Amino acid sequence: MKILAPLERIEVYLVKLPLVTPFATSFGVETHKEALLLKITCGGVVGWGECVASPAPFYSSETNQTALHILKDFLIPVLKTVKELSIEDVLTAFSRVRGHTMAKAALENALLDLLARRREIPLYKLLGGTPKKIMSGISIGIKASPTELVEAISQALQKKYHRVKMKIKQGRDLEYIAAVRREFPKIDLMVDANSAYSLDDLDLLAEFDRFRLTMIEQPLDYDDIYLHSLAQKRMQTPLCLDESIKSLRDARAAVQLGSCKVINIKQGRVGGMLEAAAIARYCRDHDIGAWSGGMLETGIGRGFNLHLQTLPGFNLPGDTSATSRYFKEDVVTPPVELDKDGYISIPGGVGTGVRVLEDRVERWAVYWEKLL
Ligand code: OSB
Ligand code: MG
């Protein structure tokens, strides 16, 4: 994937959008989505990328401020040293910077969108994907009572979401899952613990087997692979790793150790679309389920997640929900919507296919800087 040079301008916006409903997980409650957006201009064409980091290091160690620092002081200076700007050369140059996968992914996003728009092709085509309708899935935060949760799930099912994920934590688990299963015995249901448990809780986690969950996401430590292999041996329900997988190497380790049967692939968490594609291929070749996760992205990030799911290996519904579930006013058009069967269409047109509404970006921006 070549022909990018010379980049004319790189700008960063930090936007802060109010969420329609607060999103509660085992690591905290989010009332706003704060997103770092990158705008790259080259030859009169503009590409956009989004960083999936949060304001606080509670999901992963990166934050929007660390991403800004790494982009500004390391990744963008590295870009200037790459002679021929192919994406592969850029990624090789980035590999000198250790970690900071979310910062790297944001820049890779923007470059891929730019490249596809310059070639006047949709992003999935640039990536080698097959266009299709994408399955939808919803991730429902921790609610104040099982009744409230059942009500939220009932609303999601009316919209035809293909699978439901519910967030859990210590003390908000058995009773909540039991209530949901009583009401909806047959739905595709999974839980996400965001590292709320430890090895001492294996008996409790094994009790979840009776609920016939399709998987339990990230029950143990955010950076662990080995302990999850012990947990997987003790339970029937497939484990899915999210936080622990930051690269193809991590995915290999997890699969070979038997730490999970499914991987939640977030392109931002693993350092970008190309690494995400490689993990999905690896999953396909090793009979491991794979789906695209979400980070409450604006329509920019969600556009990338949609195109990603056209690639081989993504065989399960992910965390791609309708825009209206997150924001009253997003920064792109068209919004993500579900059809009557719960499927989502890839936005048509070149690049990610979404059009960034710059007046809205400006309206919600709390910070702007020219980085190149
Ligand atoms: O663990 O998958 C997660 C949101 C923010 C941080 C972590 C997670 C999530 C979600 C929501 O589950 C996914 C989405 O709808 O974007
Ligand atoms: Mg998760």
Integer Cα distance of 59 and 275 in angstroms: 20
Ligand positioned closest to the Cα atom of 53: 1
Torsion, Cα 361 364 369 371, to 10 degrees, reads -40
Which structure tokens are listed for 95?
């590999």
The Å distance, Cα 229 to ligand 1 centre, comes to 23
Please check whether residue 131 is in contact with residue 345, taking contact to mean a CB–CB distance below 8 angstroms. no
Report whether residue 275 contacts ligand 1, using a CB cutoff of 6 Å: no
Beta strands 134-135 and 343-344: pairing type?
antiparallel
List strands edge to edge, sheet with 189-192: 137-140, 163-167, 189-192, 216-217, 239-241, 262-265, 289-292
Which structure tokens are listed for 222?
């955010």
Ligand positioned closest to the Cα atom of 60: 1
Which residue's alpha carbon is at the smallest distance from atom 9 of ligand 1?
A: 295
The Å distance, Cα 295 to ligand 2 centre, comes to 9
Residue of 295, 304, 327 to mutate, ligand 1, most atoms within 8 A of C-beta:
295
Entry pTM = 0.97
Report whether residue 319 contacts ligand 1, using a CB cutoff of 6 Å: yes
Report whether residue 126 contacts ligand 1, using a CB cutoff of 6 Å: no
Three-state DSSP class for residue 12: strand
Tell me the C-alpha to C-alpha distance, in Å, between residue 85 and each of 88, 91, 286. Answer: 8, 10, 33
Report whether residue 295 contacts ligand 1, using a CB cutoff of 6 Å: yes
Integer Cα distance of 198 and 219 in angstroms: 8
- Closest CA relative to residue 344, chosen from 332, 356, 329, 334: 334
| Closest ligand 1 atom number to CA of residue 266 | 2
Reduced 3-state DSSP string for 82-123: CCCCCHHHHHHHHCCCCCCHHHHHHHHHHHHHHHHHHHCCEH
Residue of 139, 220, 244 to mutate, ligand 1, most atoms within 8 A of C-beta:
139
* pLDDT reported for residue 3: 56
Please check whether residue 10 is in contact with residue 114, taking contact to mean a CB–CB distance below 8 angstroms. no
Integer Cα distance of 370 and 161 in angstroms: 40
- Closest CA relative to residue 342, chosen from 314, 316, 322: 322
Integer Cα distance of 215 and 213 in angstroms: 5
Report whether residue 296 contacts ligand 1, using a CB cutoff of 6 Å: yes
Ligand positioned closest to the Cα atom of 52: 1
CA 48 to chain centre: 16
Which structure tokens are listed for 152?
């939220």
Low-confidence ranges of the chain (pLDDT < 50): none
Report whether residue 173 contacts ligand 1, using a CB cutoff of 6 Å: no
Ligand positioned closest to the Cα atom of 59: 1
Residue in 39, 167, 169, 246 annotated catalytic = 167
Report whether residue 271 contacts ligand 1, using a CB cutoff of 6 Å: no
Cis preceding linkage at 6, omega within 30 = yes
Integer Cα distance of 209 and 178 in angstroms: 11
Please check whether residue 141 is in contact with residue 16, taking contact to mean a CB–CB distance below 8 angstroms. no
* pLDDT reported for residue 29: 97
Residue 264 carries which side chain, given as an amino acid letter?
Answer: N
- Closest CA relative to residue 313, chosen from 347, 290, 293: 290
Active site residue 266: yes
* pLDDT reported for residue 236: 98
- Closest CA relative to residue 33, chosen from 330, 333, 273, 334: 330
- Closest CA relative to residue 110, chosen from 15, 12, 245, 247: 12
Report whether residue 190 contacts ligand 1, using a CB cutoff of 6 Å: no
